[in-house]
Amino acid sequence: MKDGKVYSEYRMSDAISAREAEAAIGLKNKWYVQEGLTLSTLFERVESLEGDKDSTATAAGVGVEYLAKENYKASGRLEKRWGDTSDTLLGSAGIAYRYTDDITLLAKDIYSQVDYDDGHRTINRFQLGAAYRDYDSNQLDMLAKLEYRLDDNATGNDPYQKDAIVWSWSGNYHPTRPLTLSGRYAGKYTEYDADNIVSDNTAHAVYARGLYDISERWDIGLQAGTYWNKQADDLAYLVGAEVGYSPMTNLWLSLGYNFMGFEDEDIAYDDSTQEGAYFRLRFKFDEDLFKREDPRKNKRLTSDSTL
């Protein structure tokens, strides 16, 4: 099998204490239907060795990827897993369309359903997004996203359903080479249904950050923002500062402290918005990251490394 792979793995969950250990054996195949169109298949068997003995499972999956057109890419995957305590169905599909050199449009859906002895839980996330980058000058780039989330938990004694609509916008502007101005706005509307009682909530978060490169290796930054939650009917504020260091090209390590901060699991889940100290890692990469030149053939080779 030219594009087949048989593998046997020993896996651990919580590797420090090795509480959970399992052995997996599987088979992966890739099938080239035509130029730009590929199918992939997976079959895997997992046996529990230590810890939770009920984690034994068998999985089978199929995927498709379409890359024939330069301006859009599409992919999808479906996987079924049969276990001793639950059966799981996983599915995902996505498409990216390059409208112009500056604008790319994206759509993605992720679906999961787990069937237990006492019920089921369904989670679905549908996303629409747009990305803008000033192709000529690279002074301005922006991301916008609209997402619908469904969490239908019909298990146990406390079933519930949570529906959420989340929207966000973020951007970076470079008025000069050493200065970067960043902004983000996000909001959400949620409905929570439990015990035939429905409650809703609305929240908004907006904050900005300024970074200045004082040298090729060091930068400093200031940030400020605010957060409002309908249920709390109160405003929370964000004020902080940070210092960053670049140990290598395109990698930045930053240490900061927020004198005031806020947190929200849907729209402000970044550690850099919470009160207190935080650590932030930034890494700039693209599709050329794991490519290198072949001095013999003077062409690019793709490494097997993954990120």
pLDDT, position 267: 92
pLDDT of 76 above 50: yes
**Structural domains for the chain:** 99-302 (2.40.170.20)
CB 154 within 8 A of CB 160: no
Is 0.75 surpassed by the pTM of this model?
A: yes
pLDDT, position 156: 85
CA-to-CA dists, residue 92 to 27, 123, 296, angstroms: 21, 12, 41
Judged on CB neighbours under 10 Å (0-12, 13-18, 19+), 302 is exposed
Please provide the size of the chain in residues. Answer: 307
- Predicted confidence (pLDDT) per residue in 146-205, tens digit: 999 999 999 988 899 999 999 999 999 999 989 999 999 999 999 999 988 999 999 999
pLDDT of 254 above 80: yes
- Predicted confidence (pLDDT) per residue in 285-298, tens digit: 766 665 544 443 44
CA distance linking residue 255 with residue 237, whole number of Å:
20
pLDDT, position 138: 84
Average pLDDT over the chain reads 88
Name the residue with higher pLDDT: 1 or 24: 24
pLDDT of 121 above 60: yes
> How many percent of the chain have pLDDT more than 90?
69
